[in-house]
Structure 1
């Protein structure tokens, strides 16, 4: 499948990206791809090993005459975010990604594309296969579960990697180089709320909020897009005057993707159905006006359920839960003063669910300051303690402190001018790159992050600009060859 990728330039990168598209690789299910890459390494005479967590390393000795050049680590993550449109059945553990080209961009049909970080992985494999390239000792480090928990980087073996320079290939903007990123943590809230049977005058209705753009909770959170969980909770609060009670709730699928859809089942007094229908139409117009220009497709729908649920939350429990969710931190908390234009602290209400009274929430807090991450997490603890819920913080990872005086950065900027005729923008990103974690384990590493142009990551709108992949490949090869010209002291 995806044979047309072999016709794109640069062919070495797209050939490997085809392999990634054809090999399912959601977070936690990377084993099949690891096996494919290990067989490929064996076929090319390259050594490979894994650490105890399963992160994969493929090594290639220096080309003749460059044995004393600094070792270079090419780093990316194997997993991808799995998001599909609600009306498109897709099993990400079995089905390949179906790609197509339109107007100079590569897209996937109704699902995420996996260019994040598949193109970085493909470029690293293309470097390993390139016999014309002069290079020092090479290590390609492919981590696991980056999208779900940063698990691969957090559990990376220490005293394993040998290189002195790390090139992170997980950025998404042509003409830019990243030298710092936010840290973050998952905030998980759980509770069991009381329920009672539906009254004789209550009927079950399905309330849906769909049509949002979604996106990456680090890269896109400042763009004013709607968060389906935030918006549907707002609607639920507005409907409380009609005596609604929550039966269940399901919103969002990943803590690092802006939720595009959310659904709630309501116990609604029959006498209030007409008033609620009118109120929903007004709320839809209100929300569309507020989101004009960024999320014009928002749609609210109320449909009756044939199946009659046994129970719903009690009035008090439903009221307390809706209020707590309505008050929870969501979106941009603060912009950075030190790095203008960059979000300093944010929170994404990524996944919210309620089933048989059991409540679950997973939010992703990001910040350039670890103290601010801890503060947002503590606000969740304080808020949800008021309704008897338990809060815990998981998968915390540090930020990557920028070093504008880095020799590697200066080298990158020089080569960018030589190869592409312009200076790159030097950036700090609010999204979480693995560099902060890797730098904590290997503090001697010099690091930069760069990549091709990717838009709509973490949503079915994800796409990659084909021309930018050529620029990325040109720059990556030039940087490796330039590093090979150095000699260790």
Structure 2
């Protein structure tokens, strides 16, 4: 166990420490799921997994609470795997290494997994406790939330019994969420052709790195740069000064993380020294423009091995033009909820393959109209660039309900504990709540959690004091759930 297991509340932090020790990136949650199932069985709790791999654990009501309405506490099993450029961490085999950094807990060179490991730890800590009052309780742990919401999509009706659902996947203590954005993936595929690589040229690799990255929903309005966009700007500008041919290009790793790194390998008729002057000047321009936000930004140049093939001139022009024209970031702010993004998209992944280049976007929108607007824009871009486009993984938003009894109960608990009301908000991120409404339309839901900064990036950290408040709020909510209808 690490030092974080000594933090208060200890039961919750011990569970989070255990979660960190068992690798659980998206698509690789089985080891953690098996550990949790085995633990629940050892406690004689009612535990099962459904056909897609979600876990349900039921615990009877504590004495005197048997007539209260049933509550479902919910979190997701997986975490986003992001690491620093110099890290050799393997998320499928290596544990996360958390440590205390002042008033925060963070991890060594990787994402921490507080999103949503801290919520999962709270769910398991309640199951473990014998001193927390609650009515009939279920814990639902879903799979693959970060990479496609497979678990939420596969949730079947009739498995869960509760009337209220506490989603623990929000990231700002003091805010209670009652709605979220929906989303959809978009993939633009540009056909490309190759030619034999030219002889007597300079072979070089240019990398843009050191960006902060972050959550493509929560951080999309923070001014953080997208490495794919910056690489496109570099190539577009270089076209006016150099003769070069692209042999490889890639950027980003996840559709729902703002890309921190992108690179290109070129054959050029100009010297390495000429390119070094250009790259250094370009880096200086970026730092002048973005340096207050992107304090670690770097543009590096090095020699590279010769490639056998490079893009034809026509394919290269179309690729650079497509990358430059690709929209990214905030498309519209909400007219209804001040300060909340209504519609956005993230150019998360760019790859150069054997016969095509691919651009993967994640669209987020509070309103279907906003999502459709972006889809039409991307479709038009694909048409102009003679590319193909496909959409997949659409998931609904969670429509706010200002009459929610659970929301009003949580607000009252907050006032009783702290003397002021929490902020009731809508989050520009994809919570699973909208999908839960399909098999369970009766569920009354809220989302809450401790303060987590920079999720989906190696800078991720969770505020220690906010975890204690999150734990206190959880106990108050469970103790004050009303009688069953």
TM bracket (short chain): over 0.9
Aligned pairs for 1:273-284 (under 5 A) are 273-284=272-283
- Give the C-alpha shift of residue 65 in structure 1: 2.9
- Give the C-alpha shift of residue 360 in structure 1: 2.0
TM-score calculated relative to the size of structure 1: 0.96
Quote the residue 2:484 is aligned against: 488
Contact 1:239-1:276 within 8 A present in 2 as well: no
Quote the residue 1:102 is aligned against: 101
Aligned pairs for 1:350-369 (under 5 A) are 350-369=348-367
Match of 1:309 among 307, 320, 330: 307
Greater shift, 387-396 or 361-370, is seen at 387-396
Match of 1:372 among 356, 370, 373: 370
Contact 1:248-1:356 within 8 A present in 2 as well: no
- Give the C-alpha shift of residue 269 in structure 1: 1.4
- Give the C-alpha shift of residue 238 in structure 1: 0.7
Secondary structure of 2:189 counterpart: strand
1:434 aligns with 2:432: yes
Quote the residue 1:258 is aligned against: 258
Q: CA deviation digits over 1:135-187, x for unaligned, max 9?
A: 11111000011101111111211222111000000011011111111100111
Aligned pairs for 1:141-180 (under 5 A) are 141-180=140-179
Provide the rounded CA distance (Å) in 2 between the counterparts of 1:379 and 1:160.
40
Gaps spanning 5+ residues in structure 1: where? none
Contact 2:85-2:210 within 8 A present in 1 as well: no
Quote the residue 1:32 is aligned against: 31
Matched positions, count: 484
Gaps spanning 5+ residues in structure 2: where? none
Secondary structure of 1:216 counterpart: coil
- Give the C-alpha shift of residue 410 in structure 1: 1.1
Provide the rounded CA distance (Å) in 2 between the counterparts of 1:254 and 1:217.
10
Quote the residue 1:472 is aligned against: 470
Quote the residue 2:399 is aligned against: 401
Provide the rounded CA distance (Å) in 2 between the counterparts of 1:98 and 1:134.
33
Secondary structure of 2:480 counterpart: helix
CA RMSD of aligned residues (A): 1.3
Match of 2:455 among 454, 457, 460: 457
Q: CA deviation digits over 1:85-138, x for unaligned, max 9?
A: 111101100000011101121110000000000000000001111111221111
Provide the rounded CA distance (Å) in 1 between the counterparts of 2:343 and 2:245.
34
- Give the C-alpha shift of residue 204 in structure 1: 2.0
- Give the C-alpha shift of residue 275 in structure 1: 3.9
Aligned pairs for 1:11-26 (under 5 A) are 11-26=10-25
- Give the C-alpha shift of residue 358 in structure 1: 3.3
Secondary structure of 1:320 counterpart: helix
- Give the C-alpha shift of residue 371 in structure 1: 2.4
Contact 2:399-2:434 within 8 A present in 1 as well: yes
Provide the rounded CA distance (Å) in 1 between the counterparts of 2:87 and 2:484.
54
Provide the rounded CA distance (Å) in 2 between the counterparts of 1:309 and 1:378.
37
Provide the rounded CA distance (Å) in 2 between the counterparts of 1:356 and 1:240.
23
Contact 2:143-2:151 within 8 A present in 1 as well: yes
Aligned pairs for 1:40-439 (under 5 A) are 40-241=39-240, 242-270=242-270, 273-305=272-304, 307-439=305-437
Contact 2:76-2:116 within 8 A present in 1 as well: yes
Secondary structure of 1:148 counterpart: coil
Provide the rounded CA distance (Å) in 2 between the counterparts of 1:278 and 1:315.
24
Q: CA deviation digits over 1:184-243, x for unaligned, max 9?
A: 011112244101012224322101001111111111110111000111111111111212
Q: CA deviation digits over 1:303-323, x for unaligned, max 9?
A: 111x21001110110110110
Q: CA deviation digits over 1:344-389, x for unaligned, max 9?
A: 1001000111134432221100011122212312322221233332
Contact 2:190-2:319 within 8 A present in 1 as well: no
Secondary structure of 1:101 counterpart: strand
Contact 2:291-2:297 within 8 A present in 1 as well: no
Provide the rounded CA distance (Å) in 1 between the counterparts of 2:298 and 2:145.
32
Q: CA deviation digits over 1:40-83, x for unaligned, max 9?
A: 10111101111211111111112233222111000110000000
Provide the rounded CA distance (Å) in 2 between the counterparts of 1:270 and 1:387.
29
Provide the rounded CA distance (Å) in 1 between the counterparts of 2:29 and 2:147.
12
Greater shift, 5-14 or 241-250, is seen at 241-250
Provide the rounded CA distance (Å) in 1 between the counterparts of 2:22 and 2:390.
34
Greater shift, 44-53 or 341-350, is seen at 44-53
